Amino acid sequence: MLQIYNTLSRQKEYFKPLHEGHVGMYVCGPTVYGDAHLGHARPAITFDLLYRYLLHLGYKVRYVRNITDVGHLEHDADEGEDKIAKKARLEQLEPMEVVQYFTNRYHRDMELLNVLPPSIEPHASGHIIEQIAFVQKIMDKGYAYVSNGSVYMDVEKYAKDYPYGKLSGRNLEDIVTETRELDGQQEKKHSFDFALWKKASPEHIMHWPSPWSEGFPGWHMECSAMGTKYLGEQFDIHGGGMDLMFPHHEAEIAQSCAALGHDSVRYWMHNNMITIAGKKMGKSYNNFITLEQFFEGKHELLEQPFSPMTIRFFILQAHYRSTVDFSNDALVAAEKGLARLTEAYQRLMKLQASATSTVEIGNLRERCQEAMDDDLNSPIVISHLFDSARAINTVFDGKGTISEADLNELREVWKTYAMDILGLQLDGAQEAGAGMDAYKGAVDMLLNMRLEAKRQKDWATSDKIRNELTALGFTIKDTKDGFEWSL
Ligand code: ZN
């Protein structure tokens, strides 16, 4: 039975969904004003692993991952200019153009990492009405106050009725000393009060009407509003990076308890951080490497490009609650490990069965399941697969035999655990994708040669290229600017 570590109770718990056979799961998604970096890949892959495993266990999963596009900062909703609006202003774009551009790029990165798309991907900007209604509920319960057109959570009052800081293990005194002096402090009763709604300043271009002012919701509000809208007032799992635990998730808990009288989330799950030389990787630390830079090898800290599968494997080689420290050497080691696994998988698919087995395949399936059931212990699953690779290589090298039953079982387990659950594309699907590009490039090259031949009035060559491509099944159309083709 699946056990997961619940950040709230600080222990592993047997997972029992609220509604039998169904799981509701919410994960904080990206803020879309820049490219995704390695730090974004970790929560995406961690919760993809969970999503894939829940599906494997036969659950019907509603997986909601939001897009933060109202442009709040990552660490404090009260601070400074909306970043999307700032980018839009600087580049003379409609804010939604910035949002769409980076959302598309995020999707492309996720697809390359073989991260499954969520069931619902709501945008904060599309749920302003729900957020206003949620703020109103908190107002009605008396846990919020209006100041100068903005609405703030009355944390002191809330903390008298509910434990504030229970997720991150903080108390109000800790929080007072941690809170930085920021914009909007004069309006608040206490520095630790956080914004539920902010009145927009005149230069703020993303704003909406509300009962309190023309403005925009506080960052924490979108997850409370969209989580309960799509998953109900109580749902199973809420995930995100450890850096979101405070203030973001703590604030979400406070908003739910204040508005609904109870917590919405039953299991809180947090992945640990990726560090570079021991420091957190992130936009605010200016040491981040985007996923695209990894794939292309274009960053001063990188000695070579690393494929999306290498990045995925690198992340899955660590347990999600451990830190992962980035270095070229660590990624090169991951690349080698993945190559060994890929080779074993491809050999496994080619093996011939014999009458009996001389290799021991062990109870690989049970051991993999046991590891996944133990709070998604992907590094242990990977080590079991490496063990099994030894048996595969023995048979492949002709130093042992495998029976048909054992061979089928081994193929099944590798497909299930390596491909479906870990999401590693060991069958060359990614190279086939790259092969498509090469093939398209080759056809374009031939047609460009034909174009050049035509310019030189070399009709024989031009006709030969066209006729031979046509014979192969291509349709070629000459256009004003050159050519179009299809197969
Ligand atoms: Zn969130």
The structure tokens listed for 350 are 């080619």
| Digit-coded pLDDT (tens) for 356-390 | 999 999 899 999 999 999 999 999 999 999 999 99
CA–centroid distance, residue 223 to ligand 1 (Å) = 5
Alpha carbons 256 and 234: distance in angstroms, whole number: 9
What does the pLDDT read at residue 78? 39
Residue 425 sits at the vertex; the CA angle it makes with 424 and 431, to the nearest 5 degrees, is 145
Other beta carbons less than 10 A from residue 454's beta carbon = 16
Q: 349 CA to middle of ligand 1, Å?
A: 42
74 alpha carbon – ligand 1 mean position (Å):
10
Residue 43 CA to ligand 1 center (angstroms) comes to 12
Q: In this predicted model, which residue has the larger pLDDT, 413 or 95?
A: 413
Tell me the average pLDDT across 136-147: 98
Reference 17, options 335, 291, 305, 232; nearest CA is: 232
Give residue-wise pLDDT tens across range 7-33: 999 999 999 999 999 999 999 999 888
Per-residue DSSP letters for 177-199? HHPPP-TTGGGSSSTT--EEEEE
Expressed in angstroms and rounded, the spacing between residue 327 Cα and the centre of ligand 1 is 29
Residue type, position 132, single letter: I
What is the spatial distance between Cα 421 and Cα 380, in angstroms, rounded to a whole number? Answer: 13
CA–centroid distance, 291 to ligand 1, in Å, is 22
**CA dihedral for 213, 216, 220, 222, sign (positive or negative):** positive
Helix/strand/coil for 61: strand
Give 164 Cα–ligand 1 centroid separation in angstroms. Answer: 17
* Cβ partners under 8 Å of residue 135, min gap 6: 144, 151, 196, 197, 210, 217, 221
pLDDT score of 142 more than 80: yes
Q: Supply φ then ψ for residue 21, to 5 degrees.
A: 85, -10
Strand, helix or coil at 381? helix
What's the burial of 120, exposed, middle or buried (CB within 10 Å: 0-12/13-18/19+)?
Answer: middle
- C-alpha 477 to ligand 1 mean position (Å): 50
Ligand 1 midpoint to CA 40 (Å) = 13
Kindly report the pTM of this predicted structure: 0.86
Residue 75 pLDDT: 33
Give the Å distance between the CA of 402 and the centre of ligand 1: 50
Span from the CA of 5 to the centroid of ligand 1 (angstroms): 19
Q: What is the pLDDT of residue 181?
A: 55
pLDDT of amino acid 397: 94
208 and 7 Cβ atoms separated by less than 8 Å: no
- 28-61, pLDDT tens digit by residue? 999 888 899 998 999 999 999 999 999 999 999 9
Distance (Å, rounded) from C-alpha 157 to C-alpha 161?
Answer: 7
Q: Where are the beta strands (DSSP E) in 47-206?
A: 60-65, 144-147, 150-153, 195-199
Task: Write out the residues surrounding ion ligand 1, Cβ under 5 A.
Answer: 28, 223
| 234, 262 Cβ separation under 8 angstroms | yes
Confidence category of residue 434, pLDDT binned at 50, 70, 90: low
For the chain, give the percent of residues with pLDDT over 70. 92
Res. 98 pLDDT band, cuts 50 70 90? confident
**Ligand 1 centroid – CA 202 distance (Å):** 27
Burial of 166 (0-12, 13-18, 19+ CB in 10 A): middle
**Radius of gyration of the chain from its Cα atoms, rounded to whole angstroms:** 27
Pick the more confident residue, 188 or 285: 188
Name the pairing type of β-strands 150-153 and 195-199: antiparallel
First to last CA, the chain: 50
Q: 476 CA to middle of ligand 1, Å?
A: 50
Distance (Å) from CA 29 to ligand 1 centroid: 7
Average pLDDT on 306-321 reads 98
Instruction: Judge contact between 321 and 271, C-beta under 8 A.
Output: yes
Give pLDDT, residue 310.
97
According to the model, what pLDDT value does residue 73 have? 37
CA–centroid distance, 419 to ligand 1, in Å, is 29
Q: How many Å apart are CA 474 and CA 52, to the nearest integer?
A: 39
Residue 171, pLDDT above cutoff 90: no
Q: Where are the alpha helices (DSSP H) in 6-154?
A: 38-56, 83-91, 95-112, 128-140
Answer for the pair 255, 138: CB distance below 8 angstroms, yes or no.
yes
Q: How far is the centre of ligand 1, averaged over its atoms, from the C-alpha of 256 (Å)?
A: 13
Gap from CA of 28 to ligand 1 centroid (Å): 4
The closest of 380, 390, 271, 274 to 330, measured between CA atoms, is 274
Ligand 1 midpoint to CA 227 (Å) = 9
For residue 285, the CA-to-ligand 1 centroid distance in Å is 20
Q: Which of 71-80, 280-289, 346-355 has the lowest mean pLDDT?
A: 71-80
Q: Among 75-89, 203-217, 293-307, which is the least confidently predicted range?
A: 75-89
